[in-house]
Structure 1
Amino acid sequence: MLALPFLRREFPALKGERVTLRVPMQGDFREWSTLRGESRAFLEPWEPRWTAEELDRATWRHRMHRYRDDYAQGLAIAFFIFERQSGKLAGGITLGNIRHGVSQSAHIGYWIGERYAGRGLMTESVKLLSRFAFDTLRLHRIEAACIPGNTRSIRVLEKAGFQREGLLRSYLRINGFWQDHYLYARIVDDEPSARTKD
């Protein structure tokens, strides 16, 4: 797949009222591994099973290569979420499975450190990334999948304007088990500041 022509090599940060989204950098390793490590019990029920090397530097380097490759091919854009007031890393959010042509869609996935949960930072991040997807990437539809028991994530998506569209049976292997997921989506027409139709 060709790289997206409108994406520059040096990607700008996305700035909201309380968060800044920017692409991960090599120097983020220590802060990322610390936050993920202390939040492990909080995150594990909602993520693919962690490996024994999950927080190792070698795994981090592999992750960074994947981020760069996916970005270069126009498949995904990964961001880290930083709290603007403190400048601290709070979590991550990715726009993945980017498709053009007749689809013009993508999928949002995210995680947040336990100490930052429940403060509205993820809701703002999802809204910020949604505006970017619609206005800059010119996408028409954004999807997100959520385990039915993940009430925090459901609240985030609904506050960010996503609508539940159905149930995906045995959709993703999460924490070692195939699990059902709700499918949420929002389309460009749902976005108040959305571009006018072409």
Structure 2
Amino acid sequence: MPPSPVPTLRDGDVVLRPIRARDAKPLERILLDNRAWLRQWEATYPGGGSAIDTKGSIRNLLAHARAGSALPFLIEADGELVGQLNVSSITHGSLSSATIGYWVTREVAGRGITPTAVALATDYCFQVLRLHRMEICIRPENGPSLRVVEKLGFRYEGLRRRYIHINGAWADHYAFALVAEEVRRGVLARWRDGEAPPEAARIPPADRDAAVHPLRVSDR
């Protein structure tokens, strides 16, 4: 299937737009200004450095977009750049799935911008790309992101041990997902109508307890 162009999606003053090469400087400025807020959730490369390389990151995102495996967005609110959202690992055919990752600046956290952006992207993937499953994986300590999946009614699927390299170390993640049949009217409409089931994202006490204790890895 040929890659779909990255669209511009909007709801009120919240806009998801395609990332562009010329966004490198303003994006770098925001990342540096929010370094302390974002670094604890930042995906890193094992053995790699921690320097911010927005030009290289954008080149990589655009390459994945051209290959049809990603939709890289910037998030804008009231005309200002406030974050990023990336739909990645897009697969068609018998799997028909993708994953979503995102961040917003500390100043706009809690204003409903992130759930709106996630809902817009998920609705596009279900309704336009005809994907079947969308997944979000979140660090157990990331309270703001956990509130996003709770608001939108993403369903908890389990604890993934040492799943993604975050802030210099392999980190556990909670996995949440939706399939298209669960949100036939759309994620955004369901949330706005107050019909998203918050209990769907409830994490079992056993998994909460397990996440407190790092997985021990044998030296053998």
TM-score range normalised by the length of the shorter chain: 0.7 to 0.9
**92-101 vs 23-32, which moves further:** 23-32
Distance 1:103 1:72 in 2: 20
* Match for residue 76 of structure 1 among 50, 53, 70: 70
**Could you say which residue in structure 2 is the equivalent of 1:152?**
144
Q: What RMSD over aligned residues (CA atoms) do the two structures have, in Å?
A: 1.6
For structure 2, the residue ranges without an aligned partner over 5 or more in a row are: 187-220
* SS of aligned partner of 2:69: coil
Task: Give the alignment of 1:99-178 within 5 angstroms.
Answer: 99-178=91-170
**Could you say which residue in structure 2 is the equivalent of 1:179?**
171
CA contact (8 A) 1:71 1:77 kept: yes
* SS of aligned partner of 1:155: helix
Distance 1:126 1:178 in 2: 25
Say if 2:81 is the partner of 1:89: yes
Per-residue deviation, residues 65-120 of structure 1 (Å, max 9, x unmatched): 2122111111111000000x2x1001000110001111000000001111111111
Task: Give the alignment of 1:24-63 within 5 angstroms.
Answer: 24-49=19-44, 51-54=49-52, 59-63=53-57
CA contact (8 A) 1:170 1:178 kept: yes
Q: Cα 1:47–1:53, aligned 2, differ >3 Å: closer, same or farther?
A: closer
**Could you say which residue in structure 2 is the equivalent of 1:3?**
2
For structure 1, the residue ranges without an aligned partner over 5 or more in a row are: none
CA contact (8 A) 1:123 1:156 kept: yes
* SS of aligned partner of 2:28: helix
**Could you say which residue in structure 2 is the equivalent of 1:98?**
90
CA contact (8 A) 2:126 2:132 kept: yes
**Could you say which residue in structure 2 is the equivalent of 1:64?**
58
CA contact (8 A) 2:25 2:54 kept: no
Over the matched positions of the two proteins, sequence identity in percent amounts to 34
Flag as ranges the 4+ runs of structure 1 deviating above 4 A: none
Q: Give the counterpart letter for 1:115 in structure 2.
A: E
* SS of aligned partner of 1:90: strand
Distance 2:36 2:82 in 1: 16
- Please give the TM-score of this superposition, normalised by the length of structure 1: 0.87
Greater helix content: 2
